[in-house]
Amino acid sequence: MTTRDIVLVALFTAIIIVLGLIPPITLGFIPVPITAQSMGVMLAGCIIGAKRGAASYALLVLMVAIGLPVLAGGKGGLAILAGPTAGYIFGWIVGAFVTGLIAERIVGPATGEAKQFAGFFIASVVGGIGVVYGFGIPWLSYVTGTPFGAALAGNLAFIPGDLVKAAIATLAARAVLAGYPLLPRSA
């Protein structure tokens, strides 16, 4: 990693922590809150790419593990990394990587504007929603003893908000790409 990469990883970890300052919204029927930090998966992957985006979330998880209160609601500590939300938290790392990988392959400065918007949105939905849910829902089901189908159904309430987050991340990523491209290109 270059010095630039380290700075970008640290910067995006800080952005993710700031997103955690927005108070989480809890729903009564599922022990997983709605947080703005999940949008960071989309932002990190689309703006700084797969490796750096995943590294920014890995750094965040390390900070949580050592007990720093960097998650939404001022949470941190090893207990969080074993609780009902742990699957989502670890899924953030892989989700940022997948989001970045898709964005790197589809989007570039020379790509048409419509394809850039579509590429960022697809990357955000697949990595930031699909992959994160793919880690989070099975873990939630296991830890809480909830049948997988019920855990999956409970997560449907999050889809509209996550699609809004994907749209916001798409607009932000496109603006950064147009002004100061940071997204690496993959062959």
Distance CA 165, CA 22 (A): 14
Between these two residues, 26 and 126, which has the higher pLDDT value?
A: 126
pLDDT of residue 186: 61
pLDDT of residue 82: 94
Average pLDDT over residues 4-25: 92
Instruction: Render pLDDT for 57-103 as a digit per residue (tens, 0 to 9).
Output: 999 999 999 999 999 889 999 999 999 999 999 999 999 999 999 99
Which structure tokens are listed for 116?
């850039």
Instruction: Render pLDDT for 104-137 as a digit per residue (tens, 0 to 9).
Output: 999 987 889 999 999 999 999 999 999 999 999 9
Instruction: Pick from 19-23, 34-38, 130-134 the range whose average pLDDT is largest.
Output: 130-134
Burial class (CB in 10 A: 0-12, 13-18, 19+), 168: middle
Distance CA 70, CA 101 (A): 26
pLDDT of residue 175: 93
Q: Which CATH number fits domain 3-179: 1.10.150.120, 1.10.357.10, 1.10.1760.20, 3.90.79.10?
A: 1.10.1760.20
Instruction: Render pLDDT for 136-183 as a digit per residue (tens, 0 to 9).
Output: 999 999 999 999 999 999 889 889 999 999 999 999 999 999 888 887
The phi, psi pair for 177, rounded to 5°, reads -60, -40
Distance CA 41, CA 98 (A): 10
> 66 CB contacts (<8 Å, ≥6 apart)?
76
**Where do the domains of the chain lie?**
3-179
> 129 CB contacts (<8 Å, ≥6 apart)?
159, 162, 163, 166
Under 8 Å between Cβ of 16 and 60: yes
pLDDT of residue 157: 85
In whole numbers, what is the pLDDT of the chain averaged over residues?
92
Burial readout 45-57 (b: 16 or more C-beta within 10 A, e: otherwise): bbbbbbbbbbbbb
In this structure, the number of other CB atoms found within 10 A of the CB of residue 64 comes to 20
Between these two residues, 30 and 48, which has the higher pLDDT value?
A: 48
Under 8 Å between Cβ of 170 and 119: no
pLDDT of residue 168: 96
Under 8 Å between Cβ of 52 and 31: no
pLDDT of residue 95: 98
DSSP label at residue 36? S
Closest CA to 124 of 6, 54, 8, 41: 41
Question: From the centroid of its chain, how far is CA 93?
Answer: 7
pLDDT of residue 111: 85
Under 8 Å between Cβ of 6 and 46: no
pLDDT of residue 1: 84
